Chains A and B, each alone.
Chain A
């Protein structure tokens, strides 16, 4: 079970959280302007990398806040957490936050 560092509550068991899929998928500002393929891309297509992925989590049994998290899908190491609306940290990751 992951130990997730909630930016508001600190480290908590994964069981307190709900997974929200890949992060940084913004809903298009003008959906009507998208063709079917572009819309389907937004709705359904997600990265499934072997390695680093930015994903969303919500501390549903805690502060109920959403946040972003950078995780290695191979080792399950969590490299960073950051707030919604912030860009993923780049470059040197200082290990587990």
Chain B
């Protein structure tokens, strides 16, 4: 509970993308991720943003699951 609260209040410690850049890179990030490659190296700043932005995290999960279900 407290750790989760701290995460939500303080956000990611590492440098992150903004929402716009996250949307721009989301399709590439998901495909790299589903290919089993290092998506966080391919798109630096994406993982911290997804941990700090619930809306972008939801959209990432949706795209990942949708594409995973069709390949």
User: Does B associate with A?
Assistant: no
